[in-house]
Amino acid sequence: MEQDLIINLGQATLKTTALIASPLLIGALVTGLIISVFQAVTQINEATLTFIPKMAIIAIIIILAGPWMLDVMTVYTTNLFENISEMVRH
């Protein structure tokens, strides 16, 4: 395998990982920000207050975006397995 091929595989893997993880991370980030502003306004300093809303938002995002995330992973894996014979020959 040449270095270019390995670098391209690594880049494609990182891109796919970021694409799949971004809805979950953005949802958790926005939820945490909203809860933090609420805590600052009401002066409630409870560290566990953000746990349940974040878990609920992540569950909702997985339900809504799960099929899309699975499709992205399936397309990437299928392309990888279909082209593995060409990759090994180089």
The predicted-structure confidence for 5-20, as pLDDT tens digits, reads as follows 889 999 999 999 999 9
Contact (Cβ atoms closer than 8 angstroms) between residue 2 and residue 90:
yes
Q: Which domain holds residue 75?
A: 3-89
**Pairwise CA distance, residues 85 & 3, whole Å:** 17
* Rounded Cα distance, 45 and 35, in Å: 11
Label residue 77 exposed, middle or buried (CB < 10 Å: 0-12, 13-18, 19+).
Answer: exposed
Question: Which pLDDT value is given to residue 74?
Answer: 96
pLDDT for 19: 95
The 10s digit of each residue's pLDDT in 29-88 is 999 999 999 998 998 888 788 899 999 999 999 999 999 999 999 999 999 999 888 888
Whether this prediction's pTM lies above 0.75 is answered by yes
- Token reading at 85: 């014979």
pLDDT computed for residue 5 by the predictor:
87
Number of independent structural domains in the chain: 1
